């Protein structure tokens, strides 16, 4: 089965990140879903219109836990991932669907903006999951990510606590 790369740039979250635990091959795994909306402007002059595209992304493991901890409704993100065709038969009819899995997520809000959004909404983890207490490690740079802002708020928080300036 082939995977197709999908990029969603300058998106904002339509709601809170939904975090829950599922049973994986090697034990429980964190799974999060988020809906990101991108606006695209088409046309020019009086014919200029705006088109919104909403994609429901699935995140796994530590990436899911970090998203639940640091993102809330309205947070700005860039998401890169893959889409997979999930067609199946139900009651003799074919049901067509797509699954979007995030491989990389860039947090575009500053630390202060993210904290203000979460405080305003009172966002906490969903479905009774505790917020991870361990500090997440800085994300590794993926191949081909040159020139991209790769620091997650978790990495910025670690630098801020040490008093070091953010290196970019």
Domains belonging to the chain, first-starting first, are: 4-162 (2.40.50.140)
For the chain, residues with pLDDT lower than 50 are 124-168
pLDDT, position 127:
38
In the prediction, which pLDDT does 105 show?
94
pLDDT at 123: 54
- What pLDDT is recorded for position 77? 95
Q: Specify the pLDDT at position 112.
A: 87
Model confidence pTM above 0.85 = no
pLDDT tens digits, one per residue of 29-42: 999 999 999 988 77
Q: In this predicted structure, what is the pLDDT of residue 125?
A: 42
The reported pLDDT for the residue numbered 86 is 86
**Predicted pLDDT at 1:** 56
What DSSP letter does each residue of the chain carry, written as one string?
Answer: ---EEEEEEEEEESS--EEEEEEETTEEEEEEEEEEEEEEEES-GGG-EEEEEEEEEEEEHHHHHHHHHH--TT-EEEEEEEEEE--EEETTEEE--EEEEEEEEEE-S-HHHHHHHHHHHT---STTPPPP-SPPPPPPPPTT-TTS----HHHHHHHHHHTPPP--
């Amino acid at each position: 089965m082939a995977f197709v790369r999908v990029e969603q740039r300058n998106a904002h979250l339509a709601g809170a990140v939904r975090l829950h635990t599922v049973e994986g091959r090697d034990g429980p795994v964190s799974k999060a879903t988020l809906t990101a909306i991108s606006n695209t402007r088409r046309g020019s002059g009086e014919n200029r219109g705006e088109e919104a595209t909403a994609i429901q992304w699935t995140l796994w493991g530590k990436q899911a836990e970090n998203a639940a901890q640091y993102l809330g409704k309205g947070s700005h993100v860039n998401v890169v991932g893959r889409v997979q065709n999930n067609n199946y038969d139900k009651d003799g009819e074919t049901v067509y669907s797509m699954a979007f899995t995030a491989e990389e997520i860039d947090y575009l809000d500053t630390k202060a903006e993210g904290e203000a959004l979460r405080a305003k909404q009172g966002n906490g983890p969903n479905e009774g999951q505790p917020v991870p207490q361990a500090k997440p490690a800085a994300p590794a740079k993926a191949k081909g990510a040159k020139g991209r802002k790769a620091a997650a708020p978790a990495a910025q928080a670690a630098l801020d606590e040490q008093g070091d300036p953010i290196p970019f």
